[in-house]
Structure formats: C-alpha cells, structure tokens
Amino acid sequence: MRKLAILAVALPLFTGGCLHTVATVATAPIKVTSKAVDWTTTSQSEADRNYGRKMRKQEAREGKERKRAYKQCREQGGGDAQCRNAYRSEGEYYR
C-alpha cells in the first residue's frame, strides 16, 4: 500500500517531461505552417513600404529626366522661361 501511495505521488512528476514533449511535437506542424504562410504573404506594412520605395524611385527618375530635358533645351539656345514652360511636370516648373 505504501509503495502504491509513493508511486501515485511520483508518477505525475515523471510524466511531466513526457507531456511537454508530446505537446511540442503536436504543435510543431502548426508552427511550421504558420511560418510558411508568413513567408509567402505580404503584410500591409510591407506593401506600403514597397509602394513608397517604388514611388520614390519613380520620382527620382522623373526628376532626372526633367533636369536632362531642361539642360538639353538650354544647350539648344532656348530661353529660361521657354525651357521651364516646355518641360514642366503637372503644373510645377523645374527649379
């Protein structure tokens, strides 16, 4: 009887490690799947960041094109006002 009482008290202590291992093994596929989904999808903040980067590059490219066109106009003998009017972008003049 005494051995049975000791075994009843000690059994949960010995199986605690086993239960943790079982829980870890059981949740592993869920963690792997969620990580794969995170890698394959784009969050809203990532999309915003990528869009901002794309727009900054486009604006820089357009600025370089306007500057080159303005310089080319000046080299061809165009006046300052004429070149600014000819190569304006959305109502704003190149400065």
pLDDT in tens, 20-79: 676 676 777 888 888 887 778 878 888 999 999 999 999 999 999 988 888 888 888 877
61 belongs to a structural domain: yes
The verdict on 61 and 85 lying in the same domain is yes
**DSSP symbol at 92:** B
**pLDDT score recorded for residue 54:** 97
pLDDT of residue 60: 95
Write down the pLDDT at residue 26. 75
Following DSSP, what letter does each residue of 37-79 receive, concatenated?
A: HHHHS--HHHHHHHHHHHHHHHHHHHHHHHHHHHHHHHHTT--
Within-domain flag for 49:
no
Question: Of the candidates 95, 87, 92, which has an alpha carbon nearest to the alpha carbon of residue 65?
Answer: 87
Q: 37 and 8, same structural domain?
A: yes
Domain count, the chain: 2
| pLDDT recorded at residue 94 | 45
Could you tell me if residue 31 is inside a domain?
yes
CB 87 within 8 A of CB 62: no
Q: 């080299």: which residue's tokens? A: 75
Domain span holding position 13: 1-41
In terms of domains, do 36 and 72 share one?
A: no
Q: Is the pTM value of this prediction over 0.85?
A: no
